[in-house]
A and B are shown apart, each in its own frame.
Chain A
Amino acid sequence: MQQAQRFLKLTAWGAIGLVTLVGMGAVVIRALNGLGVTNLNFIVPWGLWVAFYIYFIGLSAGSFLMSTMVYVFGFKKLESIGRLALFSALIFLIAGMNFVLIDLGRMERFWTVFVNRNLWSVLEIEIHFYVLYIVILTLELWLLMRRDLVVCGQGNDWKARICRILAFGSKDVSDESVARDRRIVRVLGIIGLPVAIGVHGGTGALFAVVKARPMWYGPLFPIIFIVSALASGSALLTFVLAFFAGKGMAKQERDELVLLLGKITAGFLAFDLLLLWSEFSVGIYGNIPEDLEVMRLILFGPFWWVFWFVQIIFGAFVPLLIIFLPATGKNPKWVGLAGFMVVVGIIGVRLNIVIPALSIPVLPGLDEAYTMLPAPTQAFTTYPPVILTWLNRFAILAALGTFGIFGLIALRRLRGQEAYRFQRGLVSIGTAVAVLAIALFVLRWVGGTAVTTLGLGISGLDLTQTPIGGILGQTELHSFYIPSPNEWLSSAGLIGMAIIMFAVGYMVLPLESKEGH
């Protein structure tokens, strides 16, 4: 059993390492060849990398805000994950910055942002926030680990050597010194709170100030960013604590903490959904063409599944179900899984923030005015039917249907049998997903440009005239951007690097050793 587990672990890390290695190769290719390796164009100048940039900044800011709950607001229950939260904030901030770096047209000039200044630019203001934030983060983390570093530096092995270096000559292990550290941390946390809000609210403001894009423009956007950052930050901590961290804690304590974090995540997620509803309902009711087109693209465009499946079902609906259902909500493993789903689902949120808003040209006909889009991008309007031929679609529907029916039968059989609680939870969620997926396919079918993606082979039926499509408009929806292989690989490389850095840091640094508070 133990051997099998070790083998699994090795395989997993080997896979991550390999992907990271290949991905970093892609980053090198991108650095050498410039932005030509991407599928970005003048209509969609920001793509996958910017989406990941705001994703990781969100994870970072969310984690940091969770840590302020401990060190500023004195929320003692979360004490044991305070350092972990700070550390993940640091790692993911670096990951976010890496994505900005590879996204620059002239990478070698990244440092000039500190020389050539335009203080009226939100991006420049953000850069200041990032610098301030990284300083506060590092200081806080160091002060919190200081005594443990001194203690662990007393050995003679390689770990002790690293600890000694990181302790920066500090030798004081007295309780007074720890109390002093905590006072400084509190002050730093108080300063850090508005900075963290500035970091992610400001990242939202990058988009919110762009009046050229009605979907982005508006005061709600920075708030959405902060709330979704909090949701992703707390979800990340739930996931990490449930499956990896917390080895030094009592099982009881750890389980309770996971459930608590799950509840916090659910709260933020629900609030995030409310904001999403507000944004979409007002936008669709308002019926401003540029705004409505973007929303149609998100809801019914070629990438409709990113919204419905990744963002809503996988990233919000199922996690909420898991956390609130009595069968699963009391099991820390389930709640940890819910956390993981939210962390992944937020990627969909970020993608849908960046790309659809840009995919509607600012002037009608701009995309056709001059045929300058490269072949792969232009061919993209015919992309979904190739991926999802009607046979494919039929297979998916059949599989989902079978799964749903069998799930319902299995649920009936399992009813009342306490021993199979876990299985019952699994089946009920699977069934819910299958039923929802079928419902969504139907929704997609009636929703607008279904001809190209889910016509199910029925010809001669103009589905653009169907109920929802009719309400939301009837024009064909295009997307001008699909990430190139290099974009995917580079992203995988940078994400893998962040994961490895996180794991190494977790192994080496005293991120959760118990100390007297």
Chain B
Amino acid sequence: MNDTKTASKPTSLSVQESRRRFLSKFVSPVFGGLMAPAVESMEQETIMTLAEEPTTKVAASPAKATPGISPISGESSVIDQMLADLQRALEKRERGEKVRFGMAVDLRKCTGCRACTVACKAENMTPPEVSYNVVLEEEIGTYPNVRRVFMYKPCFHCENPPCTPVCPVGATYKREEDGIVVIDYDVCIGCRYCLTACPYGSRFIDLGKTYTDPPQPYESSASPEYGENRIRVEGGSPVGNARKCHFCIHRVYRGMLPACAETCIGRAIHFGDLDDPESVVARLIAERPSIRLKEELGTEPNVYYLL
């Protein structure tokens, strides 16, 4: 996340760099995770000013910021490895090559704290009844042999998404270049066909509700989604539109991990380019037994669950 700052404020590079090294070397992942939302809120303004800049320009600069950190084996550096993965993916994109963003979710590491859900809400300023990710719970076995399974569930950004072909206006589609399934808020008519078509319940309808009345600044200010800075309370889109997880596309193209992946206190959420065999996600999927939900439907989700 600190890489963004380097993109917009090159002068503060050394400070950022040292602080990050501090974090990665001495602070436990748990603590780092707790830090993330706080740091993020400080950066909110930076992100907003960035929104106007073309993404390629932004993507280029953080690449220089990371080479100093070489992937170290061991848990504490997973975030750094993922950031490095992301830089390689963004470089690939700059060369015009395709990437395939995806996730590997370690079910053993998920504690069900729902920091991902909260981080997503804070990042994307989602209203009531909209939550791009949720944590499903299931109890397996009976006492005393009992276990609770927590399952973080974002949008799976399927290879064959059933939600996109049904859209009558083509407002939602899978991006060729990085496999992210997005919604064009200016085109969506709010028919909600995609909500019925998603086998994973990953789509939501923005009913125009707010948590507070009158809306407090935390929900009346501009949301950074898609770098479009939309203000919801004015009644325009995305109110009345379908909404969904977009892997924090506005963060990813500035070299940052999706808010949920970055926040995850157990480092259960891994994000990266599935087409890059060196990436953390690709390696985890190759090494560990993994499943994808409802494979029988042929949707080919890009989010894998490590067992």
Contact = CB atoms under 8 A, between A and B. Distances in A.
A105 B198 contact: no
Contacts of B131: 370, 372
Interface string B218-258: 00000000000000000101011110000000000000000
B30 interface: no
By secondary structure, the A interface counts as loop
Contacts of A124: 168-169
A209 interface: yes
B198 A116 contact: no
A364 B193 contact: no
B200 interface: yes
Contact of B198 (A38, A127, A212): A212
B35 interface: no
Contact of A120 (B165, B198, B201): B165
Contact of A35 (B128, B134, B196, B205): B205
Contact of B192 (A46, A362, A373): A46
B130 interface: yes
A365 B189 CA distance: 29
A116 B129 contact: no
B117 interface: yes
Interface in A208-224: 209-213
A35 B166 contact: no
A391 interface: no
Interface in A342-389: 358, 361-366, 368-370, 372-374
Interface size class of B (residues with CB under 8 A): 35 or more
By secondary structure, the B interface counts as loop
A365 B135 CA distance: 9
Interface residues of A, number: 48
B162 interface: yes
B203 interface: yes
Given A42-B129, A105-B189, A363-B136, A212 B162 contact: yes
A514 to B, nearest CB: 44
Contacts, number: 151
Contact of B189 (A33, A104, A212, A373): A104
- Identify the interface centre among B138, B204, B207: most chain A CB within 10 Å of its CB: B207
B170 A372 contact: no
Interface string B181-214: 0000001111111011111110111111100000
A106 interface: yes
Interface in A187-232: 206, 209-213
Interface of A: 33-36, 38, 40-43, 45-46, 100, 103-106, 109-110, 112-113, 116-118, 120-124, 127, 206, 209-213, 358, 361-366, 368-370, 372-374
29 contacts: A34-B208, A35-B205, A41-B129, A45-B192, A45-B205, A104-B190, A104-B191, A104-B240, A105-B240, A106-B237, A109-B187, A118-B170, A121-B170, A121-B193, A123-B166, A123-B191, A206-B193, A210-B162, A212-B162, A212-B200, A212-B297, A358-B196, A362-B201, A363-B200, A365-B137, A368-B137, A370-B134, A372-B128, A372-B130
